[in-house]
Chains A and B, each alone.
Chain A
């Protein structure tokens, strides 16, 4: 009997980017891209935001979803597939795991699933990619 099939064992949910969703991850992006399309406004006033920006594009129609700062950190933690998202968020933001609200991460994941940007596996669901 393996650990996976032990009665009562909790299945840790895993997420991955949904099929057909393109991604551009800019970890050191400025907070607000300029309207002209560059990442640095002409006056050079932008301050890099911790966490950067993740752009997600559901192809072929769009629109682009922009996750910046903490949202970008949460997205990366969800799709990293290397363990517990809480631990990853705690590491990336430099805070203790107790200070990370696991429920908020779940809510955020649900939002992304609902938007068709990520898929949840585990609990019997097949992988997406």
Chain B
């Protein structure tokens, strides 16, 4: 009757991951909102179906939840600091439930993670995933997550039929637009709607400029540094630029990397960053040359 994890479809395991994280969060009293994939209304789902569980966690409780999941047999696959330039999510892996991305904030509505979580929590609805009650954002919140997720992954927003369908309903779209300032997503939402230039001069402008127009990983990091509101945050990001994601390296190698391997990867990333920086400077110089 019991099946090896490989024989259970990934989207089924993702549903179980949602339920397992919800069960753990409920037990320790941490609030979570289930986003993307099987957590969203049918009209907003992607055709392929999600292969992991995405969960927005109350920023105050995220450490507690990570610790609880670890005691329940989940492994840390990647960390906040070594993941994306946004540093927004840590990925946990369970031998039976697969992957769960725990978000401490969502890129695009990241200016005030706690206030944003409270706003989304206040508008939550009760969903059900794998037979478990799971809170999900309001319909407007789900659309906003879809829009910002498309933006971050450089996927078309305006031509996405799921977005177009909501835009065609003025009342529903007005609710999305009303939510945008409440979660400080003005710049990202503007970028997604093709109106980024209206936000030139804001801290986030370059971050979304690089995201929407493409750029190297170094450029992405530097834009993220520019968008960081505090000096301390900027310094932290700069220190993280050349860090090696040891978790991912470990998964690639199938064993913990040696110090020498981490060192080689560090040098490789440094060289790659320097190359990208040289190319960017050369391009800038060529543009300025008469």
- Asked if B178 is at the interface (CB within 8 A of a chain A CB), the reply is no
Stretch at the interface among A3-11, A56-64, A98-106, A118-126: A56-64
Query: Known: A62-B97, A67-B1, A115-B1. Is A57-B130 also a contact (CB below 8 A)?
Result: yes
Stretch at the interface among B7-15, B204-212, B250-258: B7-15
Alpha-carbon gap, A49 to B96, bound state (A): 24
Partner of B20, one of A22, A23, A33: A22
Query: Known: A24-B16, A24-B130, A26-B12. Is A62-B7 also a contact (CB below 8 A)?
Result: no
Most buried by A among B11, B20, B72, B131: B131
Alpha-carbon gap, A57 to B97, bound state (A): 9
- Asked if B23 is at the interface (CB within 8 A of a chain A CB), the reply is yes
* Chain B residues, CB < 8 A from A62: 16, 94-97
Query: Known: A22-B16, A22-B20, A65-B3. Is A55-B72 also a contact (CB below 8 A)?
Result: no
- Asked if A20 is at the interface (CB within 8 A of a chain B CB), the reply is yes
A46 → B minimal CB distance (Å)? 12
Q: Is there contact, CB below 8 Å, between A37 and B3? A: no
Q: Is there contact, CB below 8 Å, between B8 and A64? A: yes
Q: Is there contact, CB below 8 Å, between B3 and A64? A: yes
- Asked if A17 is at the interface (CB within 8 A of a chain B CB), the reply is yes
* Chain B residues, CB < 8 A from A38: 9-10
* Chain A residues, CB < 8 A from B1: 65-67, 111, 115
Q: Count residues of A near B (Cβ-Cβ below 8 Å).
A: 26
Alpha-carbon gap, A33 to B51, bound state (A): 14
Alpha-carbon gap, A57 to B130, bound state (A): 9
Alpha-carbon gap, A40 to B119, bound state (A): 40
Q: Is there contact, CB below 8 Å, between A66 and B3? A: yes
- Asked if B19 is at the interface (CB within 8 A of a chain A CB), the reply is yes
Q: Is there contact, CB below 8 Å, between B16 and A57? A: yes
* Chain A residues, CB < 8 A from B15: 22, 24
- Interface residue ranges, B against A (CB under 8 Å): 1-3, 5-13, 15-16, 19-20, 23-24, 51, 72-73, 94-97, 130-132
Given A22-B19, A24-B12, 9 more pairs with CB closer than 8 A: A24-B16, A33-B7, A37-B9, A39-B9, A55-B8, A57-B16, A60-B73, A65-B3, A66-B7
- Interface residue ranges, A against B (CB under 8 Å): 17, 20-24, 26, 32-33, 35, 37-39, 55, 57, 59-67, 111, 115
Can you list 14 pairs linking A and B with CB atoms under 8 Å apart?
A22-B15, A23-B130, A24-B12, A24-B16, A24-B131, A37-B9, A61-B96, A64-B2, A64-B8, A65-B3, A66-B7, A66-B8, A67-B1, A115-B1
